[in-house]
């Protein structure tokens, strides 16, 4: 089950109360106040993990509470601190404050940690209030309450390449040919109901280039407003470096105008409002083994006019698959180097 949204309620532990006590021992004639401080309450910590890939564990258990600190005791004994609660989330998770809508943290790499609710401070015992003029204080403090928050979690997949296009254009078949991913494949629209990830390796062991491909459920006109499945999954291609746009040039789609198909998808990407239309794109003519020559010619003219590299493939027969795979790898490697250079220039 792929769950990419969840709401949780977290409560950090309250601090323990300070203690009021006095030493009255046989051989301690001037014992005085001996009340210890309360222990600090436990924090609620969120940590990114590569072992998790969905938010499903939050869907069925949305409330988390850390342990409270133990109260202080006599003989200047400080209470034990409350145990922390650590919540594991997939890499790519964004945490939003449910009440304000503000972004709290974006987990972009593994093993990142952030405290999302801080435990309350322990109260001071009466020993802390002793002074030269106030030698028998009877004051002590209660523990401070721990923070309590409601958060909305949103998962955006981390992939180098996003496959986009109308439903049933061959995206799932393509990802099954170039990676070990085995998505559901059938001859009807919206076969893919959740994103699929596949790791593609190109080249030999010494010069191998690997990248992650995300197969996004098919888009249709009006996807950004909620039609089909598009609005639910468009955010998963926000983090991709490259888009591969598959266009069905056969007669099986029932849509006579491939140029309109391309423009509809590009329009949906632009309407989503996350800059998706500005991402580098490779155009792919799929199902070339049963291509309609007029559709293929129209797509070639469109690609040439807009300076888009067009690759012709058949995921069924394997024609053009290797050429496309190496082209994607070369483009991804170039984009990675470009990002690295930009990061170096910013840090210099």
Strands 85-90 and 148-155: unpaired
> What pLDDT does 231 receive?
53
List Cβ neighbours of 217 (8 Å cut-off, separation of 6 or more).
167, 190, 192, 193, 194, 195, 228, 229, 230, 232, 233
Residue of 262, 38, 1, 304 whose CA lies nearest to 146: 38
Q: What per-residue confidence (pLDDT) applies to 190?
A: 41
Q: Which pLDDT score is estimated for 39? A: 97
Backbone angles phi, psi at 299, to 5 degrees: -70, -35
CA distances from 159 to 28, 191, 248, 261, 290 (A): 69, 21, 24, 25, 31
Q: What is the mean pLDDT of residues 196-208?
A: 75
User: In whole angstroms, what is the distance from residue 331 CA to residue 15 CA?
Assistant: 54
Q: What is the pLDDT of residue 223?
A: 44
Region of 168 please: left (phi>0), alpha (psi -120 to 50) or beta.
left
- pLDDT over 60 (residue 57): yes
Check pLDDT > 50 for residue 188: no
Q: How far apart are CA 303 and CA 283, in angstroms?
A: 7
**Those residues with Cβ within 8 angstroms of residue 158's Cβ, 6 or more apart along the chain or in another chain:** 91, 92, 108, 212, 239
Going from the N-terminus, what domains does the chain have, and what CATH number goes with each? 5-155 (2.70.210.12), 161-347 (3.40.50.300)
Reply yes or no on whether the pLDDT at 304 is more than 90.
yes
pLDDT at 184: 46
pLDDT at residue number 213: 87
In sequence order, what DSSP letters do the residues of 228-268 get, joined into one string? TTHHHHGGGGTT-SEEEEEEE-BSTT--S-HHHHHHHHHHH
Q: How many CB atoms lie within 10 A of CB 115?
A: 14
Nearest to 147 by CA among 184, 104, 190, 177: 104
Roughly how many angstroms between the first and final C-alpha of the chain, as a whole number?
A: 44
323 vs 348, more confident? 323
Q: Quote the pLDDT of residue 192.
A: 44
pLDDT at site 79: 96
Per-residue pLDDT of 148-166, as tens digits, reads 999 999 888 778 898 888 8
Give pLDDT, residue 27.
74
More confident residue, 203 or 305: 305
Decide if pLDDT at 187 tops 60: no
Q: What is the mean pLDDT of residues 75-92?
A: 94
E strand residue ranges, 54-160: 63-65, 85-90, 93-97, 103-106, 113-117, 148-155
- The mean pLDDT of the chain is 85
Mind listing the pLDDT tens digit for each residue in 98-154?
Answer: 999 999 999 988 899 999 999 999 999 999 999 988 888 999 999 999 999 999 998
How does pLDDT run across 280-303, given as a tens digit for each residue? 999 999 999 988 999 999 999 999
Q: Give residue 10's pLDDT band: very low, low, confident or very high (50, 70, 90).
A: very high
Q: Phi first, then psi: what are they for 3, rounded to 5°?
A: -115, 120
pLDDT tens per residue across span 216-267: 776 655 544 444 444 566 777 788 889 999 999 998 877 889 999 899 888 8
Better-predicted residue by pLDDT, 83 or 55: 83
């Amino acid at each position: 089950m792929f769950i990419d949204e969840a709401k949780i309620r977290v409560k950090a532990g309250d601090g323990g109360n300070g203690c009021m006590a006095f030493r009255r021992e046989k051989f301690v004639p001037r014992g005085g106040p001996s009340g210890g401080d309360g222990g600090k309450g436990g924090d609620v910590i969120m940590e990114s993990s590569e072992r998790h890939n969905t938010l499903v564990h939050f869907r069925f258990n949305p409330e988390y509470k850390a342990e409270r600190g133990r109260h202080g005791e006599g003989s200047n004994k400080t209470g034990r601190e409350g145990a922390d609660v650590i919540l594991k989330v997939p890499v790519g998770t964004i945490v939003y404050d449910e009440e304000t809508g503000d972004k709290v943290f974006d987990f972009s790499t593994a093993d990142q940690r952030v405290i999302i609710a801080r435990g309350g401070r322990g109260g001071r015992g009466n020993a802390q209030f002793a002074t030269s003029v106030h030698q028998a204080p009877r004051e002590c403090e209660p523990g401070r309450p721990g923070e309590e928050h409601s958060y909305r979690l949103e998962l955006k997949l981390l992939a180098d390449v996003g496959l986009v296009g109308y439903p049933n254009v061959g995206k799932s078949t393509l990802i099954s040919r170039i990676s070990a991913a085995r998505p559901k494949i059938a001859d009807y629209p919206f076969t893919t109901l959740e994103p699929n990830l596949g790791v593609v390796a190109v080249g030999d062991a010494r010069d191998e280039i690997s990248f992650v491909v995300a197969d996004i459920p098919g888009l249709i006109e009006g996807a950004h407003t909620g039609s089909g499945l598009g609005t639910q999954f468009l955010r998963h291609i926000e983090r991709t470096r490259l888009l591969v746009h598959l266009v069905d040039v056969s007669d099986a789609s029932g849509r006579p105008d491939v140029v309109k198909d391309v423009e509809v998808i590009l329009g949906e990407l632009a309407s989503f409002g996350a800059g998706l239309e500005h991402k580098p794109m490779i155009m792919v003519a799929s199902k070339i083994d049963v291509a309609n020559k007029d559709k293929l010619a129209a797509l070639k003219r469109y690609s040439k006019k807009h300076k888009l590299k067009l690759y012709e493939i058949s995921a069924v027969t394997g024609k053009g698959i290797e050429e496309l795979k190496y082209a994607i790898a070369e483009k991804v490697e170039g984009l990675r180097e470009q990002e690295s250079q930009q990061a170096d220039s910013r840090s210099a």
